[in-house]
């Protein structure tokens, strides 16, 4: 199955989609939030949202960047694994709660935020919030359009 629509096929949506790409690239390349943490967060949110294309992208990009296969494979079960640092666990918790806003009426809990604040400075937390918001919006576009995973070549995005 091919995507239902090409967002780059019309001038208005191409421009808007380009802004999403630029915003994501700004965070991915300019943040002091560790690159491994960024990729883990992007992968986990994409898994939760059922975005096959983005899950393909971020799992392959993580591996391409040198991430251990065990860690990539265990992102979906990060709570039940021993391969993530406390800082990564805190970021993954914020990502999960921020992604599951509709499922958890309270959004990100004060406890999850405080845990993340113990590991990341204000700039890194701001970047984490933006990254989570951007991937959730991107995932929704991918799912609505029916983009499928499997054909992505590592390194093209982030």
Is the alpha carbon torsion for 131, 94, 90, 78 positive or negative? negative
Whether pLDDT at 110 is above 90: yes
Whether pLDDT at 5 is above 90: no
Whether pLDDT at 67 is above 80: yes
Structural domains in the chain plus CATH codes: 7-145 (1.20.1290.10)
Whether pLDDT at 122 is above 60: yes
Tell me the whole-structure pTM to 2 decimals. 0.93
When pLDDT is averaged across residues 121-145 and rounded to a whole number, the result is: 96
Nearest of 83, 77, 108 to residue 95 by alpha carbon: 108
Confidence of residue 9 (pLDDT cuts 50, 70, 90): confident
Nearest of 58, 52, 84, 86 to residue 71 by alpha carbon: 84
Whether pLDDT at 85 is above 80: yes
């Amino acid at each position: 199955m091919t995507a239902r629509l090409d967002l780059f096929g019309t001038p208005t949506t191409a421009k808007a989609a380009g802004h999403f790409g630029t915003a994501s690239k700004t965070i991915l390349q300019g943040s002091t939030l560790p690159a491994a943490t960024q990729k883990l967060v992007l992968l986990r949110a994409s898994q939760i949202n059922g975005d096959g294309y983005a899950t393909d992208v971020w799992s392959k990009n993580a591996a391409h960047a040198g991430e251990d296969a065990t860690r990539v494979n265990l992102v979906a079960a990060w709570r039940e694994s021993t391969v993530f640092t406390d800082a990564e666990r805190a970021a993954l918790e914020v990502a999960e709660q921020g992604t599951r806003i509709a499922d958890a009426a309270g959004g990100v809990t004060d406890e999850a935020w405080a845990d993340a604040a113990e590991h990341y400075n204000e700039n890194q937390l701001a970047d984490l919030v933006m990254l989570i918001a951007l991937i959730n919006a991107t995932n929704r576009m991918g799912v609505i359009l029916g983009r499928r995973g499997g054909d992505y070549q590592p390194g093209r995005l982030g």
